[in-house]
Structure 1
């Protein structure tokens, strides 16, 4: 063999050798097969995958891609379990266990800012009851339809409908709601950090009609924008305004309000995150366009930032906070910002409501996973939607702190404008249908102690 022929053969085979090397280091997705989605449309599932048919994935990235896909699917709250399998023939199998989506049931609800506050009096007057019907995966398209008939402490009759994807590319969504709300009782003042109520026996303290429309834009997997416009027409009893002259500027509230929220959500499991981060920015303008009646206005911004870390083995750390700044408000109760409602409170101060013009809350949690997530099978239950229960337990220690600027009602509430700090220990249980149960022992800087039961993740 002469030298020219040798070089010709060598360079002829080089592209083939390079192709073989590349094909061994990548995975080509030839097709995607979904299994177990008896209700959910396949396009809803494919929307959550970071790959599609004919995509090429580096072999070194497959584990990360699988983890991302499974987390995205679980965070839709449509599935108990999601397993993504890359098969050798290029077929990707998505194995899913769907949840139960239809919930027609009677309910009882405690109309207090937290469960422990209600336990002090255990008043049945603060209990709301009614019929709640919801479909969490209406038509198999991840739409949500809710109908509510509520009576007791508060009365409400209404509906809401949410469609996350109205366009072919599944980026735009809408939601609407409407209803009637009224109550014989209402919180109308705050003194020494205790909300003061007003009650009428034979008539409503307030009643009104509300409706809203919102549009959502989802960019990629993790960023969402939501703009909502809401209308309400609420009437307040004359005797309420006589008893609490600082409650509102008039007996009729009628107008438009606006809300805008942008979110970036990179948490591994939204109901109880262990790894990742979350950030949002919100702008609220209540009473932006008054049509009639009083002119109570409240304009404020609010932002959350949270970070979740795995330290080592079963140890995890989380830190996060919320900052709220009031841009414009008046001196009435309706236009006052409070710390102490929803999840906006410093642990150790679960019994206090603190009025503030601006506030910041910082939370820290160090936790240890004493029982890793286990799947408990219930043999007497046949359906897969209920017979496999995921269960995990964590013990934790925490430290919270908060700052506030004095605003309305500061004179009769001494904690307004004060630095707050609280710490303690707790145990958390996480189970299916996104349920979280937390039992915490707390202490604050004034050496006040308490045991609190909570139903959401701490951060």
Structure 2
């Protein structure tokens, strides 16, 4: 695609630096084109019409102090020594800028075509890297959401997890990710994850490894009246221990399509007291659950921002087989489908809609595999206080959003580090409507109020998208049972 003589990294020799300055000077004097980079690429020709086509001679990258240039070049949908229609080329640059930003390695990305002739350009990619090593203190609620903790658990501070999380999001400059979590409190856990997106020169194949251990002294045994029932014994013994490990293979054939194959092992031990209270916690005799599992997942991801999308689409299908070779403890198949669409209406309005479906093939599952509305990411706004469990689930979420604030605060006079001296802030007003259905083949009497029936919820909210794509949502929602409440969450709804 690109040759060594055509592609250059951030270490540009003196003669190339001189050449770039000459190009800039020539553009200024001739006023042929002025290309401004903000949210999109625009041009202002002095001649009546822009060129019909354009050819890329070379590609330059600056600002990538840590990140290898190959990681950025992998996202480009154009090559050198090839003619492109000018309008089409601008669309390609806009899409490539968004793909590079979605690597989540940079705070800012600019792609600028520099004219060296009437139909020839050189491409300058300018990036502003993020801070890649992010240690943080864990202080978070163990419950499903804030409303669950505030209302159902009576603001119990013992239900808080605390510890240390360390994320290294660019270990060797090739977008490798290393995560370590050491956690105490309501759930004690240790989690280590390492992922390498590309292990080959063509950058199509990747690998990831994960090891997780956790134990709990208070666990959810079942649900009654569509709310979780928790149990802790008087002596505060550990009630559940879980050890799991997994290896994942990734294949990225095209820019937006990913294939994942995961093989893993899980061992769950529970205190015999748990089976005395809920004999159906596992679906077999004994207080340990051991199984291998195999999972395949396909993802088509063409969102403009994976943290909070306003344009594009996401399609994901996953099939998981629990129990491989030995199926005494479990023999189950789970299927799930996610289809989200994000439609821009104008520069300030967009509409987001998402459909999710989960299916278990068997009538009964161990409680550790229970799914339903109320467990992330499946929820209907207005039912955040409930868990609606079953073997089949359908949820359709919708939001009409209006962006009423989009600013970036320059605090370089306080913080000189480039990774932290600009604070972006976007605020959206959202009108929401969600609806869905959970089918419980067992028709558990104490949960029939909300299972096997059509449910919907609606309301208004304010979404805040801030530093490093952090999301915070404030919403007031009502459901078709006439119940209303105020909720807030720390991630995008879909």
Give the TM-score of the pair, scaled to structure 2.
Answer: 0.85
How far the C-alpha of 1:332 sits from its partner, in A, is: 4.1
Confirm whether residue 263 of structure 1 aligns to residue 287 of structure 2: no
Q: Which moved more, 1:150-159 or 1:164-173?
A: 150-159
- Are 2:190 and 1:163 equivalent residues in the alignment? no
The Cα offsets for residues 123-159 of structure 1, whole Å up to 9 and x where unpaired, read as 1221111111120111111000111111111111231
Structure 1 residue 334 corresponds to structure 2 residue 368:
yes
User: Where do 5+ consecutive residues of structure 1 fail to align?
Assistant: 1-22
Partner of 1:185: 218
**CA distance, structure 1, for counterparts of residue 493 and residue 236 of structure 2:** 41
2:352 & 2:417 partners in 1: Cα distance?
Answer: 36
CA shift for structure 1 position 206: 1.2
Matches within 5 A, 1:359-398: 359-371=393-405, 373-378=406-411, 379-398=413-432
Structural RMSD (CA): 1.7
Mapped partners of 2:244, 2:481: distance in 1: 42
Distance 1:334 1:309, change over 3 A: same
The aligned counterpart of 1:99 is 130
Once residues 52 and 79 of structure 1 are traced to their aligned partners in structure 2, the CA distance between those partners, rounded to angstroms, is: 22
Report the counterpart of residue 434 of structure 1 in structure 2.
469
Residues 299 and 315 of structure 2 are in contact (CA less than 8 Å); yes or no, is this contact kept in structure 1? yes
Question: For 1:267-286, what aligned pairs fall within 5 Å after superposition?
Answer: 267-286=303-322
1:30 aligns with 2:57: yes
Structure 2, unaligned runs of 5 or more = 1-49
Aligned partner (choices 70, 77, 95) of residue 104 of structure 2: 77
Match for residue 135 of structure 1 among 168, 177, 180: 168
Return the offset for 1:55: 3.4
Aligned counterparts of 2:365 and 2:351: Cα–Cα separation in 1: 40
Residues in 1 aligned to 2:259 and 2:402: alpha-carbon distance in whole angstroms? 34
Write the mapping of 1:1-80 to structure 2, written as runs, cut at 5 A. Answer: 24-80=51-107
Of stretches 137-146 and 396-405 in structure 1, the one that deviates more from structure 2 is 396-405
Q: CA deviation at 1:54?
A: 2.6
Pairs within 5 Å for 1:240-259: 240-248=274-282, 249=284, 250-259=286-295
Q: How does 1:393-412 map to 2 (within 5 A)?
A: 393-408=427-442, 410-412=444-446
CA separation of 1:331/1:175 partners in 2, compared to 1, >3 Å: closer, same or farther? Answer: closer
Runs of 4+ residues deviating >6 angstroms: none
Which one of the candidate residues 94, 102, 115 is aligned to 1:88? 115
Aligned residue for 2:480? 445
**Offset at 1:343?**
1.9
What is the Cα deviation at residue 331 of structure 1?
5.2
Q: 1:52 to 1:277 in 2, by over 3 A?
A: same
The 5-angstrom pairing of residues 198-347 of structure 1 reads 198-200=231-233, 201-248=235-282, 249=284, 250-290=286-326, 295-330=329-364, 332-347=366-381
Change (3 A) 1:133 1:312: closer
Q: TM-score, normalised by structure 1?
A: 0.91
State the 1:168 CA deviation: 0.5
2:218 and 2:239 in contact (8 A); partners too: yes
Question: 57-66 vs 131-140, which deviates more?
Answer: 57-66
Superposed CA deviations along residues 164-221 of structure 1, whole A, max 9, x for unmatched, are 0001100000000113221112111110011111224443111132211010001211
Cα offsets for 1:277-335 (capped at 9, x unmatched):
111111122334447xx613432111011111122342211111101122125354234
For residues 82 and 246 of structure 2, the distance between their equivalents in structure 1, rounded to whole angstroms, comes to 41
Cα deviation, 1:381-426, whole Å, max 9, x if unaligned, reads 1011111111111101111111121234632112111100111011
Distance 1:312 1:35 in 2: 33
Change (3 A) 1:383 1:184: same
Counterparts in 2 of 1:173 and 1:198: CA distance versus 1, 3 Å: same
Q: Which range moved further: 448-457 or 296-305? A: 296-305
Match of 1:352 in 2: 386
